[in-house]
Amino acid sequence: MPWHRGGVNQIPANIKSGNEYQGINILNLWITAQVRTYSSNLWGTYRQWQDVDAQVRKGEKSSLIIFYKKLTFKNDQGEDEERHMIRPSFGFNADQVDGFESPDLDGKPIDHIAKADEMVLTTAARIIHGGTIACYQPSTDTIHMPDEERFFDTEHSSRTECYYSTLFHELCHWTGINTRCNRQFGKRFGDEAYAMEELVAELGAAFLCARLCITSEPRSDHAQYMANWLEVLKSDKKAIFTAAAKAQEAVTFLA
């Protein structure tokens, strides 16, 4: 995934002290960030955010953070003993506050490609930017994309190529419902239907990138991505013909 996903791939840290959280707090904040699609690994209490001139937005839900430290006291024999003091604290992620800009973003948009933007606009697909997840959500018929500023250059692609190839992948998924291309793989592919749909979306994205001159040559990361579905192709020798045909239907619908 060629974009910054700070909330789920870095150790959670406190905004005021800069210290990393430890133990169960790491797991709890990781899970919270993933479920709520937070993009930052920075957390703080309501007051700590105020101390850095940021404000938690009204209505935001706090997350449990367990505060613990060792206390030394004298036992009945006059010897030093240690005990852990534990108390709950409640914090907010950087995505829940105003007046703070995450340090993992460079603040630069991608280099937009006019032909690609025009094609996307004509689809009338609802595309929502924000968070750290790229997906098509059938229940709301919406495409969700990370902000442009999150994308970065990789060994094989520029950040612009990464952005558009990701968007085209999700747009190909968007074409699959019954009111558009009506793609159904269940009867033939059974449990492998999901893998086939992913293969169609990736092939479609590659076709669109080539058609719009976003990338000038086949890329090894496309090949690596599709290798995950090699089992589908091995079990059904004609599967690649079906995937390519369905990808072409999606591209024709979009372009």
pLDDT at residue 133, as a whole number: 80
CA angle 124, 126, 131 (to 5 degrees): 150
**Is there a contact between 219 and 173 (Cβ–Cβ < 8 Å)?**
no
pLDDT at residue 51, as a whole number: 94
pLDDT at residue 164, as a whole number: 94
Looking at 130-240, which runs of residues are DSSP E strands?
135-137, 142-145
User: pTM of the entire structure?
Assistant: 0.65
Helix, strand and coil content of the chain, in percent to the nearest 5, comes to: 45, 20, 40
pLDDT at residue 76, as a whole number: 80
**Is there a contact between 33 and 41 (Cβ–Cβ < 8 Å)?**
yes
3-state secondary structure (DSSP) of residue 215? coil
pLDDT at residue 166, as a whole number: 92
pLDDT at residue 6, as a whole number: 58
Looking at the chain, which runs of residues are DSSP E strands?
13-14, 42-44, 55-56, 63-74, 80-93, 97-98, 126-129, 135-137, 142-145
Q: What is the DSSP code (8-state) at residue 21? A: P
Residues in the chain: 255
pLDDT at residue 181, as a whole number: 96
**Is there a contact between 171 and 247 (Cβ–Cβ < 8 Å)?**
no
pLDDT at residue 4, as a whole number: 57
Q: What is the mean pLDDT of each run of 10 residues along the chain (255 residues)?
A: 60 88 88 84 94 94 88 81 84 92 66 94 93 87 89 81 93 96 78 82 89 67 60 77 91 93
